[in-house]
Amino acid sequence: MQYSDFYRQSIDDPISFWAKEAKLIDWQQPFSEVLDYTNPPFTKWFVGGKTNLCHNAVDRWLASQGEKPALIAISTETNTEHTYTFNELHAEVNRTAAMMLSLGVKKGDRVLIYMPMIAEAAFAMLACARIGAVHSVVFGGFASKSLATRIDDAKPVLVISADAGMRGGKAVPYKPLLDEAIALASYKPERVLLVNRGLEAMTLAAGRDVDYASLREQHMDAEVPVTWLESNDISYILYTSGTTGKPKGVQRDVGGHAVALASSMQHIFCGKPGETYFATSDIGWVVGHSYIVYGPLIAGMATIMYEGTPIRPDAGIWWSIVEKYKVSRMFSAPTAVRVLKKHPSELMRKYDLSSLKALYLAGEPLDETTSSWIAKELGVPIIDNYWQTETGWPILTVANGVEPTPTRLGSPGITMYGFNVQILNESTGEECAANEKGVVVVKGPLPPGCMQTIYGDDQRFVQTYWSNFYEQQVYSTFDWGIRDADGYYFILGRTDDVINVAGHRLGTREIEESISSHPQVSEVAVVGVEDKLKGQVAVAFAILRNPDLIVNAAARMALEGEVMAVVDKQLGAVARPSRVHFVAMLPKTRSGKLLRRSIQAICEGRDAGDLTTIEDPASLVQIREALAL
């Protein structure tokens, strides 16, 4: 079938289209209605149908794939590797599910998972899905304050964590961060289940904390039946940065999510049962949910969970994994490829990569230089793709599983089926012509697998995503883009205050609030600045309460270090600005609005734009002088 016909059917007749795609998963009870869109922008997919993510990822493969690899857990930090067959994964998930039930977890309860990239984290996610609990995975690098806000929002009855993770050969203690987060949080989880990896000493809190290994021993022979869920029940909550300090809990359903992943694994990622999939992300991000844990397993593939960096013990480590486990499909980020590009190509060429059929890259814009280099080195298609935590699967890429389609350097691709993508003029709301810059939006209804709402806040969901154009209700991606005459899209950056650092989405407002908590900072502006390695980095400009503190360069550097330490403690190292510059004033309009885009332009050496509304042009001089120091 030609992809154009496939796509057109998904837009013109979504009922028939998605009814067919829904056959890719198992249903315990058939759905009575494919789509309920009577209350836009809220969608309900496969209404009345009952299914289960864990069943589709594990149980349904036992008969045909039981003794084949399902989960391959590799840590170059602890020098361990363990392969779990589908039968073994099924047994571990049943044990973990029984452990959760023994700790009082029920259908609909939230379970917060704050764990490193170890097999137990995948067991926990799948066990939640099995019993109908709602998991909320928080990236292990997040600091206590960020973790506390998520505890207060999700109100988990159980937290699952570990003594520590490891990064670059150094242990990163999790238990002290978790203890502090619970102390900071208004809501107190009843129980905490802890995996002891023997990396850091930890003390269990009496009456609250439970040792994972000890409890597991009590449930070795457990068999926990699948809890069949209505398609629109909640599967998980995943928090993502917003333009305000409060993170947004992206809420995902069960049935639509399962269908979208099964469909994308077939049509976009071309995965086949028995093959091996390697996504280098983390389960704390949406890629880890969709294409480490659920997607590959739903497709009957083995999936690799990797704890480590792309260059330890050397820059050939990923390729040694590809060779050893005959990886057919690999998913990573442009930043990782740019890191590898700095190392000798011989480290890649020494391995047999003949099993690899494609490398998919996402999380940030893919530049032509990086794409061309890795394509030449690997000799396989490099397929860019663009999507968001909110959508759960790609909006833009190519669907080679439907029809082989050429990629285009600098472009993530064409519109994926189910997504009615348009580019609208920011001011008029009218659709842009070819090669005319506008805001990338999606007309409702959103396809299966996209967010249902913001957890606990339907109004914020509508106001944030669907209320940005007066004349029509469309979903805003908050990204600038253009579409060329052939239908290929090019993403040009954010329209809001969210920046993308090495694939991690960070709200500048969150970083600003953190810096402002330093006793010497009276005001601050944070912008995302283009960076050749990470895509973007955060750069801060702060006004001090007492400018006389900076008597020399050493004092300035010391104060900058203090401010960075505050961000490290409150948000984690991932949010740390690359620089904190101290200025006497910040550029604002006469109405007091910070001119962040002008600051960003100056940082990137571009024209600061129309400054007719600026209150004091001298503030721009301050920015330039600070950058020159």
Please give the distance of CA 436 from its chain centroid, rounded to a whole number. Answer: 29
Q: Which of 181-195, 336-350, 538-552 has the highest mean pLDDT?
A: 181-195
pLDDT score of 57 more than 70: yes
CB count, 10 Å around CB of 33? 13
Q: Whole-angstrom Cα distance, residue 384 to residue 19?
A: 28
**Alpha-carbon distance 95 to 58, whole Å?**
14
Rg (CA), the chain: 24
Model confidence at 611, pLDDT cuts 50, 70, 90, reads low
Sheet arrangement for strand 474-483: 420-424, 438-443, 474-483, 489-494
Q: How far apart are CA 623 and CA 603, in angstroms?
A: 8
How far is Cα 67 from Cα 513, in angstroms, rounded to an integer?
51
Closest of 571, 586, 589, 591 to residue 523, by C-alpha: 586
Read off the pLDDT of each residue in 549-556 and give the average, rounded to a whole number: 89
- Per residue in 589-601, pLDDT (tens digit) is 655 567 887 898 8
**What does the alpha-carbon distance between residue 559 and residue 553 come to, in Å, rounded to a whole number?**
10
The answer to whether residue 613 scores a pLDDT higher than 80 is: no
Q: How does pLDDT run across 353-380, given as a tens digit for each residue?
A: 999 999 999 987 787 888 999 999 999 9
pLDDT, tens digit (0-9, with 9 covering 90-100), for 383-440: 999 999 999 999 999 999 999 999 998 899 999 999 999 999 988 999 999 999 899 9
What pLDDT shows up at residue 612?
52
Share of the chain above pLDDT 90, in %: 77
What structural domains and CATH numbers belong to the chain?
66-222 (3.40.50.980), 421-494 (2.30.38.10), 501-628 (3.30.300.30)
Which pLDDT band holds residue 124 (cuts at 50, 70, 90)?
A: very high
622 touches 584 (CB < 8 A)? yes
- pLDDT tens track for 504-525: 777 777 788 789 889 999 888 8
Q: Is-contact 80 117, C-beta < 8 A? A: no
Beta bridge partners of 441: 422, 476
Q: Look up residue 45 and give its two tokens.
A: 């997919």
Residue 405 CA neighbour count, 13 Å, CB half: 28
Question: What is the CA angle 278-281-285, rounded to 5?
Answer: 135
The DSSP call for residue 380 is S
Given a cut of 70, whether residue 487 has pLDDT beyond it is yes
Q: Which two tokens stand for residue 76?
A: 């170059």
The mean pLDDT value of the chain amounts to 93
Half-sphere exposure of 536 (CA within 13 A, CB side): 27
Among the listed ranges 12-16, 30-34, 169-173, which one has the minimum average pLDDT value? 169-173
Cα–Cα distance list, 312 to 170, 197, 245, 326, 594 (Å): 12, 20, 35, 20, 42
Terminal C-alpha separation, the chain: 59
Q: Where are the alpha helices (DSSP H) in 472-578?
A: 508-516, 553-571
Residues 461, 476: Cα–Cα separation, whole Å: 11
- Rounded Cα distance, 94 and 223, in Å: 6
Helix (H) / strand (E) element for 195: namely strand 191-195
Between strands 110-114 and 134-137, the pairing is parallel
Rounded distance between C-alpha atoms, residue 465 and residue 613, angstroms: 28
Region of poorest pLDDT, from 234-248, 370-384, 396-410, 533-547: 234-248
